[in-house]
Structure 1
């Protein structure tokens, strides 16, 4: 059940026709047939849509199979969604010709989410799928909801959100079609998905160490500090929240860029609410806190 009412934040974008991309990559034809089988019989599909590569390819394939009038992209808006990611999702949906609906979710009001245990993602996904099922399914005539788990995700032990999806009977067409991340990106290029090569962009709460409370204030600090780092032209960055310390992670090839801009960046990080700005020489480490919590930290090269 949802913990608080959630309302649309804006009207659906107007769809356009889905262009013909020609023949798909030959080695993915069987996978695409399995995808088609997974949504066969669905009259109207809701797609949990973040604008990242997985949900974008899922949306593009759903539009290809069902048509724009039978697909609704749904973006959950909360303090854990960076404004840059919200804007990207709207842009991608428009590019693909999809109807988009934004809804407010309130995972930040749930104590089990704020507690920030390694299973935090379960409560976030449970909130999103509860809002969709309680408030959108009947109103928009949805008879199924899908999300962008791929075949690689299905094998990972650090994906508690998958449990919430299963409980809500949410479809996972990419995983069921055997499409791994490499195949998803390849399909993204074929389908002209703008985020086909975009790095992963997990929610802002992933920057807070497990066991430390997630708050809207901390999420806003992280977002502002990351915006400052990304403004340097660095394609991917994380700012880890360690109390009054911001630990900046960027790909190792961009460490020098951060150092060169240190005066400006320190000022921006302090303006975001931190006292200290540090640069992690190990570089960008995606999923760091969850891997630590599960004892799965990858060895540094």
Structure 2
């Protein structure tokens, strides 16, 4: 099945739902899903965006700007993960705990607005990675339209470009908590350090970047563009100085570069296998 056929199937699938809430983070996938759903169902679609200390203000602002531009109703709900029992200890199933809390709140919004379908924007490529949040998707009967029609990330980017979406080439983003190793306590201070450090690098022109937080050490993961920028001595000195001011003692650049889910590399293989089964 080619991309065009998958897209037509997606629109048919959404049309059959009659109304829909889209969990909207402003990333490439959720923006594409929201745009498509709104095009099919119009004002029967509501975007729900979670606001928390792990979601940078810049990302929240982008979701609001998009919904205003597209005339899509958006509801922002507070989801404070650190209030979830056991979450701050950063367990390996933290994404499941977070998604569970999120979907409970989204279903409450759905009930208040007479909507009986809730969706999220994972794609078929996500099945290849450790995604404990997908367990909550199943448990709470949340629909995954993009996975349902087997759209890949590359196909979503291609379709997004054709639709004129500004997110067609947006770099992937995960919540700030993913920058901390499992078992390391999650605190507002650490999340704030990560947020400020990544914002500094973005302001310097880096596009794909993660600042992994290893207590007093910051490990920067980036792509070739980022490497080229950081190879300039003046830029490295700037990063070092400002990261020290943020609170890091040491600053390193990961020579392998950015890769999704790099913190999962620290998990023993038997634990990873067991997690995929849950």
TM-score of the superposition, structure 2-length normalised? 0.90
Q: Residue 55 of structure 2 corresponds to which residue in structure 1?
A: 81
Distance change >3 Å, CA 203–CA 113, structure 1 → 2: same
1:84 deviates by: 1.8
Q: Residue 287 of structure 1 corresponds to which residue in structure 2?
A: 261
Q: Residue 113 of structure 1 corresponds to which residue in structure 2?
A: 87
What per-residue deviation string (whole Å, max 9, x for no partner) do you get for residues 130-158 of structure 1? 11113x112222111100011111x2240
Structure 1 distance, partners of 2:241, 2:114, is: 50
Structure 2 distance, partners of 1:255, 1:30, is: 39
Q: Kindly indicate whether residue 179 of structure 2 is the aligned counterpart of residue 207 of structure 1.
A: yes
Distance change >3 Å, CA 34–CA 294, structure 1 → 2: farther
Structure 2 distance, partners of 1:102, 1:176, is: 26
Structure 1 distance, partners of 2:11, 2:228, is: 47
What per-residue deviation string (whole Å, max 9, x for no partner) do you get for residues 170-204 of structure 1? 11111111211111111111211110111101110
- Asked if the contact 1:145/1:171 (under 8 Å) is kept, the reply is yes
- Asked if the contact 1:45/1:144 (under 8 Å) is kept, the reply is yes
Q: Give the aligned CA root-mean-square deviation in angstroms.
A: 1.8
- Asked if the contact 1:51/1:93 (under 8 Å) is kept, the reply is no
- State which drifts further: 155-164 or 255-264: 255-264
Structure 2 distance, partners of 1:44, 1:271, is: 49
Q: Residue 4 of structure 2 corresponds to which residue in structure 1?
A: 29
Q: Residue 115 of structure 2 corresponds to which residue in structure 1?
A: 142
Q: Residue 275 of structure 2 corresponds to which residue in structure 1?
A: none
Q: Residue 128 of structure 1 corresponds to which residue in structure 2?
A: 102
- Asked if the contact 2:23/2:118 (under 8 Å) is kept, the reply is yes
Question: Within 5 Å, which residues of 2 pair with 1:125-274?
Answer: 125-134=99-108, 136-153=109-126, 155-260=127-232, 261-274=235-248
* Partner secondary structure for residue 238 of structure 2: helix
Q: Residue 10 of structure 1 corresponds to which residue in structure 2?
A: none
Structure 1 distance, partners of 2:44, 2:177, is: 33
1:60 deviates by: 0.9
- Please identify runs of 4+ aligned residues in structure 1 that moved more than 4 A: none
Distance change >3 Å, CA 41–CA 252, structure 1 → 2: closer
- Asked if the contact 1:78/1:106 (under 8 Å) is kept, the reply is yes
- State which drifts further: 37-46 or 263-272: 37-46
Q: Residue 72 of structure 1 corresponds to which residue in structure 2?
A: 46
* Partner secondary structure for residue 179 of structure 1: coil
1:241 deviates by: 0.5
* Partner secondary structure for residue 111 of structure 2: coil
TM-score of the superposition, structure 1-length normalised? 0.84
* Partner secondary structure for residue 263 of structure 2: helix
Q: Residue 20 of structure 2 corresponds to which residue in structure 1?
A: 45
Structure (1/2) with the larger helix percentage = 2
Distance change >3 Å, CA 294–CA 162, structure 1 → 2: farther
What per-residue deviation string (whole Å, max 9, x for no partner) do you get for residues 99-156 of structure 1? 111110021111332222222111111111011113x112222111100011111x22
| Unmatched runs of 5 consecutive residues or more in structure 1 | 1-25, 297-301
Distance change >3 Å, CA 97–CA 292, structure 1 → 2: farther
Structure 1 distance, partners of 2:151, 2:16, is: 21
